[in-house]
Structure 1
Amino acid sequence: MMDLASLQRAQARIADTLSPTALVLDHPLSERLGRRVWLKGELFQRTGSFKARGALNWVRTASPQELEGGLGAVSAGNHALGLAWAAREANAPVTIVMPENASPFKVEAARKLDAEVILHGDINDAWAHMHRLVEERGLTLVHPYDDERIIAGQGTVGLEILEQAPEATAILCPIGGGGLISGIGVAVTELRPALSLAGVEPAQAASMSHAWASGGPERLDPVDTCAKSLAAAIVGECTYSLSRAHVDALVDIEEAAIHRAMRHLLYASKLAAEPGAAVGVAALLEDAVELPSRGDVVVVITGGNMGREEMLDFL
């Protein structure tokens, strides 16, 4: 059962290797909103995103039986990097299936971390191929978000925010499959329940909004967004349940707004974040989210893994 103690154990488990990431004050956005807006810099974490947290927590709690046949995962990129990096500690081989439109930067980075990377179809095709590989090779599937050990590791982001931002009254968090916001939600509910937690999704890949409207996870097909790290076609059973229990609101953001937010992060905030990390800032720039009347706002900047060619689309 996912609870505060699960997050705290994960925090203790990974603390010798993964340091807390900084809160960066976004001065232009703070002036615009008339309140302090802090950016939680997960792009500064190992492997360039928050995903290293969950991956390391998973590996350090894995049994010898889970590791011996090798690990498998489906990823748009950041989970691949986090898992490949963490698995080296256990000398466990990793096979990653990515959609064919995955970031070339992330593909190459995962291969440099010794992962076998297979490009296959879209995200739905990639999942089907991974399930075949699990059967054929005996791999242990490490789900990118619908796994309590992964969620507990990601939830350490929430523990840090609550310690670093005592005057915060709202957190905005990007949603792909929902693992990060689920972990943050557990921390917020147990430690500061009056704080507002909002999830932000690309309108063209709003799988959590779709699940809330449908009463449970249902597959989106197709998903099509520049924010590839958020392009999960379906949220998890666990992340759906946790989000319903701990998330106050969901916001959908259009592609043009993500582009504007990317330019804000690059030119105003001076952060080279990836598009999936920009959706929370987009929600503020577009006045798309209802905030408490006072207090600081924290926006989770989930990652910064993007190659030069990809960056050019947002300059």
Structure 2
Amino acid sequence: MITLENIQNARDTISDTLEATPLVADHVLSERLGRRVWLKGELFQRTGSFKARGALNWVRTASHEELARGLGAVSAGNHALGLAWAARDAGVEVTIVMPENASPVKIEGSRALGAEVILHGDINDAWVLMHRLVEERGLTLVHPYDNPRIIAGQGTVGLEILEQAPDTSAILCPIGGGGLISGIGVAVRTLRPELCLLGVEPIGAASMAHAWTHNGPQQLDKVDTCAKSLAAAIVGEHTYPLCRQHVDALTSVDDDAIVDAMRHLMLNAKLFVEPGAAVGAAELLKGTSELPPQGDVVVVVTGGNMGWDELAELL
């Protein structure tokens, strides 16, 4: 069980180092919807995404034995950056396996923070190698999303939203493996049970919708999306039931809609976002979501770690 108390404790654990991220008004979407639309700017968090929250909470609540073995992780990039940063400050070694198509900015950033980064195959191949390294090296695996301490850290985003925008009636949150929306869901359902929580996935990596269809986590045969930060092939044993319990609905957007939303956020909100961070805005721009008739809408903008070459290729 992950409770509101776990999330509040996580905030106490990390708040001396990680500040609350701002809400940025999206005036264009606000005028289109006839209500205030806020963008929760997790791209302004340390290491450029919300992942620093869960990583720092995990490291600071870890036992000496867990840390002494060294840490291992699989990541498309943002978890790698967050964990490498949190572990560096604790003086702990980290080994991260990333898919070969991972963002060069995230690869080099993780290495600059002291992590050993191994590039290997796709995300499924990366997991196979990491499990082998855990056995061979005795590493402590820090799962990027399916861990209660990680989920509690990410859930601090939900506490901030409810405090910063008390008139919120709906939150749109990207889903990769489900850690962020699970943590937000626990906070929201406990404090504001009437609030609508909508999960948004890329069509080419809709692993949570796949799990809902099959009544449990089921691995996708492949993932194919420009939103690499959301390209989890399978959701977690923790995140699946939490999402079923706390998320009102799931929706998905294609790559063209994601790129259009990136353009919108860069030109109108002045936010330099990576593709996975734009899926919530993409859903609002699509205009098909059923939202409560009144109240503010908050879109979680999860990160901004992307290089110029990557942006040029997308646009």
- Quote the sequence identity (%): 74
Amino acid in structure 1 at the alignment position of 2:174: P
Take 2:181 and 2:169, find their aligned partners in 1: how far apart are those partners?
16
Give secondary structure in 2 for the equivalent of 1:278. helix
Distance apart, 1:255 and its partner CA: 1.1
Contact 1:263 1:314 in 2 (8 A): no
- The yes-or-no answer on 1:201 pairing with 2:205 is no
Q: Cα deviation per residue 1:234-289 (whole Å; 9 max; x = unaligned)?
A: 00010001001100000011111111101101111110010000000000000131
Alpha-carbon deviations, 1:70-108, whole Å to 9, x = none?
000000000000000000122110000000000011000
Segments of structure 2 that go 5 or more residues without pairing to the other structure are: none
**Aligned partners of 1:197 and 1:248 also within 8 Å:** yes
The aligned length equals 315
| Residue aligning to 2:71 | 71
Q: Distance in 1 between matches of 2:244 and 2:140?
A: 28
| SS of residue in 1 equivalent to 2:169 | strand
Q: Offset of 1:314 from its aligned partner? A: 3.9
How far 1:290 sits from its partner (Å)? 0.9
Q: Does 1:257 align with 2:257?
A: yes
| C-alpha separation in 2, matches of 1:235 and 1:139 | 22
Structure 1: 4+ residue segments shifted above 2 A: none
The answer on 1:269 being equivalent to 2:272 is no
Render the CA deviation track for 1:116-156: whole Å, top value 9, x for unaligned. Answer: 00000000000000000000000000000000000000000
Output the CA distance in 1 between the equivalents of 2:169 and 2:137: 48
Task: Give 3-state SS (helix, strand or coil) of 1:21's partner.
Answer: coil
- Between the aligned partners of 1:150 and 1:289, the Cα distance in structure 2 is 29
Amino acid aligned to 2:116: E
CA distance in 1, matches of 2:4, 2:222: 36
**How far, CA to CA, are the matches of 1:71 and 1:288 in structure 2?**
42
- Number of the residue aligned with 2:19: 19
Alignment of structure 1 residues 29-40 onto 2, 5 Å? 29-40=29-40
What is the TM-score of this pair, normalised by structure 2?
0.99
Structure 1 stretches of 5 or more lacking a match? none
- What root-mean-square deviation, in Å, do the aligned CA atoms of Structure 1 and Structure 2 show? 0.6
Tell me the TM-score normalised to structure 1 length: 0.99
Letter in 2 for 1:180: L
1:217–1:236 Cα contact (<8 Å) kept: yes
